[in-house]
Amino acid sequence: MATQAGPTRSAAGNSVGAIAPCPRCGQPMDPGVLGAESLVGGAKWMRGRSRLSLGGEGLVSPDAWGNVYFDGYRCRQCRLLILGY
Ligand SMILES: [Zn+2]
């Protein structure tokens, strides 16, 4: 008896979505995750670099291990990241 696989033939299990082209060079970007350690306050968006973690708009809170993660895309050529939060 040959058991038929049935109609459950889904192609994509992990849908990252369409690969975004790099806004600088137009090449397809690599999907991935940016991970960073941020024990205090999580990841923040600031208008300039600051050693003080005061101010800034909190984007992502750290998990129990003090890590923050951003799903996004990377262009190796331009060293450009496009991140979602
Ligand atoms: Zn690029």
In a domain, 67, yes or no: yes
Residue reference for tokens 């941020």: 38
Ligand 1 center to residue 47 CA distance, Å? Answer: 23
Given a cut of 70, is residue 1 above it in pLDDT?
A: no
Number of domains in the chain: 1
Q: What is the pLDDT of residue 52?
A: 65
pLDDT tens digit string along 51-76?
A: 765 678 888 888 888 899 999 999 99
Assign 47 a pLDDT band (cuts: 50, 70, 90).
Answer: confident
Ligand 1 center to residue 28 CA distance, Å? Answer: 8
In a domain, 43, yes or no: yes
In a domain, 77, yes or no: yes
Q: What is the pLDDT of residue 38?
A: 80
Ligand 1 center to residue 32 CA distance, Å? Answer: 15
Helices then strands, each counted (H, E), the chain: 0, 5
Model confidence, pTM:
0.65
Ligand 1 center to residue 78 CA distance, Å? Answer: 4
Ligand 1 center to residue 25 CA distance, Å? Answer: 4
* 35/37 Cα distance (integer angstroms): 7
Mean pLDDT confidence for 22-32: 94
Residue 72 structural domain:
32-47+59-83
